[in-house]
Amino acid sequence: MYSTLLVVTVLLSLLNGVFSKGYELTFELPDSAVQCFYEHIEKDINVEFDYQVITGGQYDVDVKVEGPNNQVIYQEQKKQYDSHQFTAQHAGVHKLCFSNEFSTFTHKLVYMELNVGPEQPLPGVGDHATVLTQLETSADEIHSALNRIIDQQTHHRLREAQSRKRAEDLNERVFWWSVGETIAIMCVTFLQVIVLKNFFSDRPTLYNRM
């Protein structure tokens, strides 16, 4: 009985458009390339998107958001991360593009999150006809706190991945620098041995001949 009621509630919520659409994506952006995403958004719907370059080059990317009439809603160049909110002025397909055209040999790893529409309320709370009880108010506060925790965890995971990549790059540079120094020391040592050996060789010199 409870499961049937839950399924009916979910279907009604979908039909009424209560659920917000959320997308979370990590993708590779090749050098000199442009990657675009498309989403149909109704008029007067609130949209929020976040992005962050995790790895690659100087950790920057060009971002541009266009509406159905090709009007520019948001545009930034060589940004590492940012967050933006807007309300759709016209119903239609919106385009979100990431560009790495200014980079000729480094590809990027980009994280993107897109939320369209209002956040889904707790069952039985969003359409409450009377004042919320203390238990319902506490449940709603806990729900909001958990959402903030999820956002913070995502942010820290991205920062950790970015820091780990930088540490790996630094470790690789130190490794090859150490290899180069080792080779240079071995070459200098070999040359010094040859020079010292020539000093004590028994071959006749010009002074001995005279």
The predicted-structure confidence for 86-140, as pLDDT tens digits, reads as follows: 999 889 999 999 999 888 888 888 988 888 887 666 666 555 556 667 777 777 7
Give the residue among 83, 84, 67, 65 at the shortest CA–CA distance from 75: 65
Count CB atoms within 10 A of the CB of residue 63: 22
- b/e burial code for range 42-52 (CB count within 10 A of at least 16 → b): eeebebbbbbb
| DSSP secondary structure code for residue 202 in this structure | -
Give the residue among 65, 66, 79 at the shortest CA–CA distance from 108: 79
The predicted-structure confidence for 58-94, as pLDDT tens digits, reads as follows: 888 999 999 998 889 999 998 888 888 999 988 999 9
Contact 67, 90 (CB under 8 A): yes
Q: In the chain, where do the E strands start and end? A: 21-29, 34-41, 46-55, 61-66, 72-79, 81-87, 92-99, 108-116
Contact 104, 57 (CB under 8 A): no
In the chain, the amino acid numbered 30 is P
Say whether pLDDT at 166 is over 60: yes
